[in-house]
Amino acid sequence: MSRHTDAIAAISTPPGKGGVALIRLSGDGAFDIARKVFVTAGQYSFDKIKSRKQTYGYITESGEIIDDVLLTLFPAPNSYTGEDTAEICCHGGITVTAAVLSALLTAGARAAGPGEFTERAFINGKLTLTEAEAIGNLLDASGREQIRLNSHSSRARLNEKVDMIRHSLVRLMSSIYARIDYPDEDLGDFSDDELAKELESVISVAVALRDTYRTGRAISEGISTVICGKPNAGKSSLYNMLLGEDAAIVTDIEGTTRDVLERNAHIGKVTVKLFDTAGIRSSNVTDQVERIGIDRSRKMLEKCELIFALFDISRPLDEEDEQIIRQLKNAHGTVVAVLTKTDLPTALDTDRIAEEFNNVIKISTEREEDSIKAVKEITEMLFTDVSLHIGRDAVISSARQHATLNRAIELMSIARDSLLGGFSQDAVSTDIERAISALGELDGREVNDMVVADIFSRFCVGK
């Protein structure tokens, strides 16, 4: 019996005390294993259980009742995995769920690995690889926008878009094959110029889809974001404001934040890996711990994608501010100058800040709602396409999808340029075929086992 068809079982709900727990059993012989451990509470036999309807009964092992449960049978292929699948709802709790699972393993099932149920759904054609990735992301979602991005409707839109691109290329290949097979009858639908124009149209659609990765990545993976500035510029106040809690200590004492604080947050649509840094000031700091914190802050500036550089509007620029400005000129990431404490009288040269930075916003802890809105708007403008409707539009969100689409676009572009350069249709057919193959890698139709194994290894056990 194959490892991809044998009966597997796992607890699909989180461990701990709860009202109910779900245990899933799937694969060849799943119903036979369920028959060994489940006894109906009524006067009918296991064979009389109706598919897809919950049946009340008992899980037993060696004649002893372990728990009273609800059993549901899903015959293949109409199940999540496409195999015979049984789901058991028992009472929640670590010990009782472990005992029910143990009874299934004793009866002939083996313990499922991470993501093995979803992997089987992919292998049996119930899901594309893109849909499986989205399900994995859905399990890890920490914000509403991430849920929308990986929802069923969003997955369906992405599949439709990829299928549309593939079908367009297959149509072009059919025309080329007709011309190759029957050169004297001119059966192809497209002349060389028409084929080049059709390719250009398909490339435009693929490029538009590829470019959604900027938004998808910002929502799904998150943008590394650092809050920097000299001591007492309001860094910890902004950090707490964005998190919606007092995660960092806020005082008027310089050097309160000694190390880099890290938390994930959601700024509008964008997920950010948020770092609050120690105040950056001159190198004559005598406190060794604070000096280490300042060094770490400077290193964070070199690698983060988004930098909120804070300047206290109530104080004029000094040498420490100038040091930060000079350092930010060589920063890898996008810099947003944040003028803080705007409820106080202005002493800062705001024109100078506007000259140094392309992006400038103003905030105040006294006007928290307006301040959060300002941060949200600038972040979404910089890292998302605001015209995209997450959940309704096709959006890619993984580096694998982005790389695969790039490869398909590159191959289609080579074919188009070759046609425009005078090459015959049969000469460019190989590149179009390879582009179709690359699209097959996108949804898993043509993908190697190592990629599949890597994707499902990130899933939890029981999914």
- Whether residue 420 lies inside any domain: the answer is yes
Number of structural domains (the chain) is 3
- Whether residue 178 lies inside any domain: the answer is yes
Q: Does one domain contain both 82 and 160?
A: no
The predicted model gives 95-102 an average pLDDT of 94
Amino acid making up residue 394: A
The predicted model gives 445-451 an average pLDDT of 59
| 383, 417, 452 - which closes a domain | 383
Q: Does one domain contain both 348 and 324?
A: yes
| 128, 159, 178 - which closes a domain | 128
As a whole number of angstroms, the distance between CA 58 and CA 340 comes to 64
Of 93-97, 101-105, 117-121, 180-184, the range with the lowest mean pLDDT is 180-184
Residue 450: predicted pLDDT: 60
Per-residue pLDDT band at 249 (split at 50, 70, 90): very low
Amino acid making up residue 402: H
What is the torsion angle, in degrees rounded to the nearest 10, for the CA atoms of residue 44, residue 49, residue 55 and residue 60?
70
- Strand 85-91 to 334-340 pairing: unpaired
| 333, 355, 383 - which closes a domain | 383
- Whether residue 388 lies inside any domain: the answer is no
* CATH number of the domain bearing residue 117: 3.30.1360.120
Q: Does one domain contain both 356 and 236?
A: yes
Per-residue pLDDT band at 454 (split at 50, 70, 90): low
Reduced 3-state DSSP string for the chain: CCCCCECEEEECCCCCCCCEEEEEEECECHHHHHHHHEEECCCCCHHHCCCCCCEEEEEEECCEEEEEEEEEEECCCCCCCCCCEEEEEEECCHHHHHHHHHHHHHCCCEECCECHHHHHHHHCCCCCHHHHHHHHHHHHCCCHHHHHHCCHHHHHHHHHHHHHHHHHHHHHHHHHHHHHHCCCCCCCCCCHHHHHHHHHHHHHHHHHHHCCHHHHHHHHCCEEEEEEECCCCCHHHHHHHHHCCCCCCCCCCCCCCCCCEEEEEEECCEEEEEEECCCCCCCCCCCHHHHHHHHHHHHHHHHCCEEEEEEECCCCCCHHHHHHHHHHCCCCCEEEEEEECCCCCCCCCHHHHHHHCCEEEECCHHHHHHHHHHHHHHHHHHHCCCCCCECCECCCCCHHHHHHHHHHHHHHHHHHHHHHCCCCHHHHHHHHHHHHHHHHHHHCCCCCHHHHHHHHCCCCECC
Neighbours of 144 (CB within 10 A): 12
Residue 304: predicted pLDDT: 87
Q: Does one domain contain both 234 and 286?
A: yes
Angle between helices 213-220 and 368-383 (to 10 degrees): 140
**Enclosing domain of residue 94:** 8-128
* CATH number of the domain bearing residue 272: 3.40.50.300
As a whole number of angstroms, the distance between CA 199 and CA 412 comes to 7
Per-residue pLDDT band at 424 (split at 50, 70, 90): confident
Residue 235: predicted pLDDT: 87
Taking the CA of residue 188 as centre, how many other CA atoms within 13 Å lie in the half-sphere pointing to its CB? 20
Q: Does one domain contain both 157 and 191?
A: yes
Predicted confidence (pLDDT) at residue 258 exceeds the cutoff of 60? no
- Whether residue 203 lies inside any domain: the answer is yes
Q: Does one domain contain both 369 and 351?
A: yes
Predicted confidence (pLDDT) at residue 281 exceeds the cutoff of 60? no
Beta-bridge mates of residue 397:
none
The predicted model gives 227-234 an average pLDDT of 86
pTM of the model: 0.75
Q: Does one domain contain both 351 and 297?
A: yes
Q: Does one domain contain both 106 and 146?
A: no
- Whether residue 408 lies inside any domain: the answer is yes
Per-residue pLDDT band at 185 (split at 50, 70, 90): low
Please, are residues 53 and 40 in contact by the beta-carbon 8 Å criterion? no
Predicted confidence (pLDDT) at residue 459 exceeds the cutoff of 70? no
Among 90, 98, 95, 92, smallest CA distance to 72 is for 90
Burial label for 202, CB within 10 Å (0-12, 13-18, 19+), is: buried
* CATH number of the domain bearing residue 156: 1.20.120.430
Q: Does one domain contain both 264 and 230?
A: yes
Residue 339: predicted pLDDT: 95
Q: Does one domain contain both 227 and 368?
A: yes
Separation in Å, CA 124 to CA 44, 77, 377: 33, 9, 44
Predicted confidence (pLDDT) at residue 142 exceeds the cutoff of 90? no
Of 114-123, 250-259, 359-368, the range with the lowest mean pLDDT is 250-259
Q: Does one domain contain both 36 and 174?
A: no
Predicted confidence (pLDDT) at residue 282 exceeds the cutoff of 60? no
The predicted model gives 188-210 an average pLDDT of 88
Q: Does one domain contain both 269 and 318?
A: yes
Q: What angle do CA 426, 431, 433 make, to 5 degrees?
A: 85
Residue 255: predicted pLDDT: 45
Per-residue pLDDT band at 130 (split at 50, 70, 90): confident
The predicted model gives 33-55 an average pLDDT of 92
Per-residue pLDDT band at 422 (split at 50, 70, 90): confident
Neighbours of 386 (CB within 10 A): 11
Amino acid making up residue 224: S
